[in-house]
């Protein structure tokens, strides 16, 4: 399937997004082999890339699919897939130089700061959901004249779960929505995580980088079904974002839910629960997928 999708990409009439440009999505899905309820369930994770539309529509177009092996680094595999898809899109003329940058939107299952660092050479920006127990750091304060010793690399601590550690936001916006009521977004510029030589950064050579970005706290009045909402924390690789761009970032994040409709259409309306992918080497049972989304979304220059 993936090979066929690669051949079709140049010929696709990709959906148009903001400013007349297209948008796309990556989806991570997990197949469960349910032979017996009491047996241990094996999981086969997959990564999908799909084009998205904006406005009052949920149509998508799947562009790529790849399986994640048991020993694979999910971030590395996802980064390679995104790099390949962006390259095909640029080669097909869907993203000429000077067009708005592509925004990749991730959920909490992805290491958004790592992806931002690995994909820094591409015309993309990232925004992703992060856990509410994360701790970020402010920029180092200006160095007073005559100070000796090694310059500070980090500033004060910003603990998402402790409001008394927050400083005044750089931007606060309010938007009335039909689905969630009033949505308030507060944004803080140039916050970064403290990286260590562990996990994905274990083999990093030299000094660890500072991956700065914009932190956004989104709070809405209600969720569908009158459920009590908790605030959502987003981090974006964009720095120096204005209020308008802050609103675009969190609104782009909400487009990730369009992927739910794609799988519902394949399983119900299309009457298909088996998606055969030659690149994957086996069928993906859509009746038992569990997924979190990662989006492309073109939005600004």
Categorize the per-residue pLDDT at 41 as very low, low, confident or very high, splitting at 50, 70 and 90.
very low
Categorize the per-residue pLDDT at 21 as very low, low, confident or very high, splitting at 50, 70 and 90.
very low
Categorize the per-residue pLDDT at 272 as very low, low, confident or very high, splitting at 50, 70 and 90.
low
Q: Which has more confidence, 283 or 222?
A: 222
Q: Which has more confidence, 79 or 45?
A: 79
Q: Above 90 in pLDDT, residue 160?
A: yes
49-86 pLDDT, tens digit per residue, is 777 676 777 777 777 878 878 888 878 888 998 899 88
DSSP codes, 52-117: E--SS---EEEEEEEEPPTT--HHHHHHHHHHHHHHHHHHTTSS-TTSPEEEEEE-TTS-HHHHHH
Categorize the per-residue pLDDT at 269 as very low, low, confident or very high, splitting at 50, 70 and 90.
low
Q: Above 50 in pLDDT, residue 221?
A: yes
pLDDT at 75: 83
Least confident of 19-28, 64-73, 143-152, 218-227: 19-28
Q: Which tokens hold the place of 248?
A: 């675009």
**Can you tell me the mean pLDDT for 203-218?**
94
| Arithmetic mean of pLDDT over the chain | 77
Beta pairing partners, 32: 43
What is the percent of the chain with per-residue pLDDT over 90, rounded to a whole number? 34
pLDDT at 43: 56
Residue 174, burial from CB neighbour count under 10 angstroms (0-12, 13-18, 19+): exposed
């Amino acid at each position: 399937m993936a090979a066929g999708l690669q051949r079709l990409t140049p010929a696709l009439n990709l959906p148009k997004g903001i400013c007349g440009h297209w948008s796309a999505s990556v989806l991570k899905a997990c197949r469960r082999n349910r032979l017996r309820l009491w047996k241990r369930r094996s999981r086969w994770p997959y990564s999908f890339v799909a084009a998205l539309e904006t406005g009052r529509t949920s149509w998508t177009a799947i562009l790529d699919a790849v399986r994640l092996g048991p020993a694979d680094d999910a971030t590395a595999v996802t980064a390679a897939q995104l790099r390949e898809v962006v390259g095909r899109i640029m080669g097909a003329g869907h993203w000429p130089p000077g067009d708005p940058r592509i925004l990749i939107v991730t959920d909490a299952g992805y290491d958004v700061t790592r992806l931002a660092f690995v994909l820094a050479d591409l015309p993309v920006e990232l925004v992703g959901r992060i856990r509410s127990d994360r701790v970020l750091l402010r920029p180092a304060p200006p160095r007073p004249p005559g100070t000796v010793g090694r310059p500070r690399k980090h500033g004060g601590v910003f603990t998402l779960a402790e409001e008394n550690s927050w400083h005044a936001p750089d931007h606060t916006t309010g938007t009335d929505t039909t689905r969630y009521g009033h949505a308030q977004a507060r944004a803080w510029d140039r916050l970064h995580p403290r990286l260590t030589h562990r996990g994905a950064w274990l083999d990093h050579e030299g000094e660890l980088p500072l991956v700065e970005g914009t932190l956004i706290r989104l709070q809405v009045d209600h969720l569908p079904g009158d459920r009590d909402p908790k605030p959502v924390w987003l981090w974006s690789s964009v720095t120096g974002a204005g209020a308008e761009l802050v609103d675009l970032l969190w609104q782009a994040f909400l487009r990730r839910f369009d992927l739910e409709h794609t799988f519902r259409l394949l399983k119900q309306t299309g009457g298909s629960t088996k998606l055969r992918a030659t690149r994957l080497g086996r069928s993906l049972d859509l009746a038992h997928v569990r997924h979190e989304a990662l989006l492309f979304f073109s939005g600004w220059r």
